[in-house]
Chain A
Amino acid sequence: MITEHAATPARTPSIGDYEPIIGAADLNALRAFAKPLRTKRAKMVNATAVGGGIAEILNRLVPLLNELGVETKWEVLTGGDDFFAVTKAFHNALHGGSFEPRPDWFELFLAVNDENRRRLLFDDDFVVIHDPQPLALVEARALLRANWIWRCHIDLSHPHPDVWGFLRPFVERFDGAIFSSPSFTQKLSIPQYLVYPTIDPLADKNRELDPAFVTSVVEKFGIDPDRPIVTQVSRFDRLKDPVGVIQAYRLVRRFADCQLVLAGGGASDDPEGGLVLREVQEAASQDPDIHVLNLPPWSHLEINALQRASTVIVQKSIREGFGLTVSEALWKGRPVVAAAVGGIPSQVIHKVTGLLVHSIEGAAYQIRYLLANPDVARRLGENGHQHVKENFLITHNLKRYLLLFLALSAKS
Chain B
Amino acid sequence: MDDTHAPFRFVTASYLVLIRPERAWTLGELAEGLRTCSNASLFHHTFQSLERHHYTRFSSDFAQWTLTACNEAQLAERLASVDVRDCVTFEELRDAIVTPIASHLSMSPASANRAAFEPFFFCEHESIEVPLGPQASTLRELAEGIRLLDLQTIHHHFINSRVRLHLKTNDFSHWIRHNLGLTGVAQRLDRIDIYMNTLDDLRREILSAIRSEVYA
A-side residues, CB < 8 A to B, are 23-26, 28-29, 32-33, 35-36, 179, 182-183, 185, 187-188, 191-194, 349, 352-353, 383, 387, 390-391, 399-400, 403-404, 406-407
Question: Which chain B residues in 18-75 approach chain A with CB under 8 Å?
Answer: 18-19, 21, 52, 55-56
Q: Are B130 and A406 in contact (CB under 8 A)?
A: yes
Docked CA distance A183–B15 (Å): 20
Candidate in A23, A29, A387 with the most chain B CB atoms within 10 angstroms? A29
Q: Are A32 and B18 in contact (CB under 8 A)?
A: no
Query: B151 — which chain A residues lie within 8 A by C-beta?
Result: 25-26
Q: Are A25 and B149 in contact (CB under 8 A)?
A: yes
Question: Which chain B residues in 151-197 approach chain A with CB under 8 Å?
Answer: 151-153
Q: Are A193 and B14 in contact (CB under 8 A)?
A: no
Candidate in A23, A179, A182, A353 with the most chain B CB atoms within 10 angstroms? A182
Q: Are A179 and B19 in contact (CB under 8 A)?
A: yes
Q: Are B19 and A404 in contact (CB under 8 A)?
A: no
Provide a sorted-by-A list of 11 A–B residue pairs whose CB atoms are within 8 angstroms. Answer: A26-B150, A28-B12, A183-B121, A185-B21, A193-B18, A194-B17, A353-B55, A403-B15, A403-B16, A403-B128, A406-B128
Query: A404 — which chain B residues lie within 8 A by C-beta?
Result: 16
Q: Are B130 and A407 in contact (CB under 8 A)?
A: no
Judged by a CB distance under 8 angstroms, whether B141 is at the interface is no
Q: Are A390 and B52 in contact (CB under 8 A)?
A: yes
Query: A26 — which chain B residues lie within 8 A by C-beta?
Result: 150-151
Judged by a CB distance under 8 angstroms, whether B92 is at the interface is no
**Given known contacts A28-B12, A33-B130, A182-B123, A192 and B55 CB-to-CB distance under 8 angstroms:** no
Docked CA distance A401–B55 (Å): 25
Contact string against A for B residues 83-98, beta-carbon threshold 8 Å, 1 for contact and 0 otherwise: 0000000000000000
Kindly list 16 other residue pairs between chains A and B, CB separation below 8 angstroms, not including A25-B150, A387-B55: A25-B151, A29-B12, A29-B152, A32-B130, A32-B132, A35-B130, A179-B19, A182-B123, A193-B16, A193-B17, A194-B123, A390-B52, A403-B16, A403-B128, A404-B16, A407-B16
A27 to chain B, nearest CB (A): 9
Closest to B21 in A: A187
Docked CA distance A36–B128 (Å): 12
Judged by a CB distance under 8 angstroms, whether B126 is at the interface is yes
Among A352, A383, A387, A403, the residue within 8 A (CB) of B14 is A403
Closest to B126 in A: A407
Closest to A37 in B: B130
Closest to B147 in A: A25
Judged by a CB distance under 8 angstroms, whether B110 is at the interface is no
